[in-house]
Structure 1
């Protein structure tokens, strides 16, 4: 996070920090409260920065020299002019900092606490990952746990090691297919290793239905609603197929990403390594119906046909490492990804913004408020947050 390297001068020049000082709301109060809770050693710098921002904005009290300095801070000119002069000026105003810093920050925390903005219990309960077994029973997955996954009859299926569920290959060959179903809610991701050794990364808002054991000599079929990245174990005798409503992906051993959210109507496969073929579900998989793609290509199902194009693979796989990566993405698509990533509901009433294309990236752990604050600079808009619902409005 960039704020970890900030000193009081950097904070005083930051737009999002300035917004919090002058126009605190539920979103920015929550962000800065959590920031100070996570990094308490930054409290003194934040105190001083708040004093500086508030002091420099009081035109009636401070006169023209401070006004000019404030303009320099806002425009970023202090960096080229050199920080020593600003710090010297700040030292001259140290009596103001000493007297008011604790008071100003105290007021800020009073505002936060009395509005309940730092009370995490006021937020909706955290959604749970669930595993539905072949008998229809469901188990909640505790991502901090290590345990053996068993059926209702006590038969071991595999081992959960926190955020990874690993199925084991049984000693005796399976004679019939028994399916499990893993559901990952908004705000979470999860990993799964199938009994054949195939490794699957499930993105937020996704469901995968798969056999506990694959049958000898029979195709390996799994059923996806959502998004997943696959590292398929090679087996030339048993082709592996990802089945979705609009397009199937056939593979023997490779790395690829499949996206097919039923509620969004967008289905595509991106190939990172190896070779795959895609075809319509109503067609039988053969040389005539399968359309092959090579690494660096995307097969997209649109207007009842499959279209192949060259793409930047990382744009579609960055999520597996927790990164939000937008490359010339439409604003409405970005908002849908933010909904899934942060488990929120976003209502965009600023319809003119939906088709605007933006490019930006965010690391794992970046708050939603920080993300929206940066996106606002690329595509101006306003927003309000009420609990788990965000409303986008025109600027």
Structure 2
């Protein structure tokens, strides 16, 4: 998998499509001693693919541009590692020169056409709908600020960061009240629950929760779609998240749950602390360690190690696709940009792609990144994305 990733990043450099995140990732891979042998083989292959005729086109001014490009874009190996990494650092520098040569030769010989779209679609934004216990609905948007509502001893307001805040202002003797926070396609939001737990809700998701956890044996919420949780610790009052096919129990930790109904499975990924997962269909359970992900599909519960940065990329403002199928990628994209995806050939759904891009760019920029790798071609018609084969 690492070698496939390196090959992808190499191609991105040569095509001139590497993002800032990809450049940083490539540099880190070059600096890893475990990759030394692979880079030596890569070095040999790259030199073998550059002919003498090609090198004749690589004039002095292009060489200077390459050196400047490496200076501007590539972070040097840490000085503290210079002794143990000296061999790989030298090889890395040469590989980077070759990568840059490949970039300029591709540019010189092929002169690829710029990709244009007749129209474009803006990214999603912060927003949601809050449904109070009495059924009243309140639109949560950028224009809304300050105090929003008071319900059963709880003050609800939106702070300067755009977060929805629940603040208990008095003891409750009344019946327990539940609120629901819902995002549509093209929306995301944040809420700080009465116990101090922070929840990020992705597009087309909802969170149902009590306005106060006081006196309850557990802090239980219900999630549909995707949410990222930073749970406030309370050993005496476990935090429970009920979602599609599973029940997650924690005392205080950081984790992500993807429980969309249109996804093939429910995935819970742990970043910090510890969580216990129960498959509500089969009653199988597992306790996760940081960096692990529980996958639930009907009767099955499996645990694997994952790159957590990839999983929570959406919360940090970018898409990260790590050898994922086009159908999985575009399903995620459709929720954020509020678009429908149409495939001219269903076989396209299984094509795979590596890449990353900001969630706050127009959809055309994302589609260009994918299209430049020859995975597929795209057309934007209204709020539809038409996917075609490159063959």
**TM-score of the aligned structures, taking structure 1 as reference length:** 0.66
Map 1:133-282; keep pairs closer than 5 Å.
133-151=132-150, 157-161=155-159, 163-173=162-172, 176-281=175-280
Q: 1:390: Cα distance to partner?
A: 1.1
Cα distance in structure 2, aligned partners of 1:372 and 1:135: 43
Any unmatched runs of 5+ in structure 1? 1-13, 17-74, 87-111
Q: 1:250: Cα distance to partner?
A: 0.7
Q: Which runs of 4+ in 1 moved over 4 A?
A: 77-81, 83-86, 125-128, 153-156
Q: Which residue of 2 aligns with 1:296?
A: 291
Change in Cα spacing, 1:334 to 1:85, as seen in structure 2 (3 Å) is: closer
| 2:316 pairs with 1:321 | yes
Map 1:89-168; keep pairs closer than 5 Å.
129-151=128-150, 157-161=155-159, 163-168=162-167
Cα distance in structure 1, aligned partners of 2:208 and 2:238: 17
Q: By percentage of residues, which structure has more helix?
A: 1
Task: Tell me the secondary structure at the aligned position of residue 226 of structure 1.
Answer: strand
Any unmatched runs of 5+ in structure 2? 1-14, 18-53, 66-116
Change in Cα spacing, 1:80 to 1:201, as seen in structure 2 (3 Å) is: farther
Change in Cα spacing, 1:82 to 1:201, as seen in structure 2 (3 Å) is: same
Task: Tell me the secondary structure at the aligned position of residue 215 of structure 2.
Answer: coil
Q: Which residue of 1 aligns with 2:326?
A: 331
Task: Tell me the secondary structure at the aligned position of residue 374 of structure 1.
Answer: helix
RMSD of aligned alpha carbons: 3.4
Indicate conservation of the 8 Å contact 2:281/2:299, yes or no. Answer: no
Indicate conservation of the 8 Å contact 1:246/1:280, yes or no. Answer: yes
Task: Tell me the secondary structure at the aligned position of residue 309 of structure 2.
Answer: helix
Q: 1:378: Cα distance to partner?
A: 2.4
Cα distance in structure 2, aligned partners of 1:340 and 1:346: 10
Q: 1:328: Cα distance to partner?
A: 1.4
1:212-239 Cα offsets, whole Å, 9 max, x none, are: 1113142111111110100001111111
Q: 1:293: Cα distance to partner?
A: 0.8
Q: 1:159: Cα distance to partner?
A: 1.2
Task: Tell me the secondary structure at the aligned position of residue 365 of structure 2.
Answer: helix
Cα distance in structure 1, aligned partners of 2:143 and 2:249: 34
Change in Cα spacing, 1:339 to 1:294, as seen in structure 2 (3 Å) is: same
Indicate conservation of the 8 Å contact 2:168/2:194, yes or no. Answer: yes
**Larger Rg over CA atoms:** 1
Match of residue 389, structure 1, among 363, 384, 387 = 384
| 2:87 pairs with 1:82 | no
Cα distance in structure 2, aligned partners of 1:167 and 1:79: 63
Indicate conservation of the 8 Å contact 2:220/2:241, yes or no. Answer: yes
Indicate conservation of the 8 Å contact 2:230/2:254, yes or no. Answer: yes
- For this pair of structures, how many residues does the alignment match? 290
Task: Answer 1 or 2: higher relative contact order, Cα 8 Å, separation at least 6.
Answer: 2
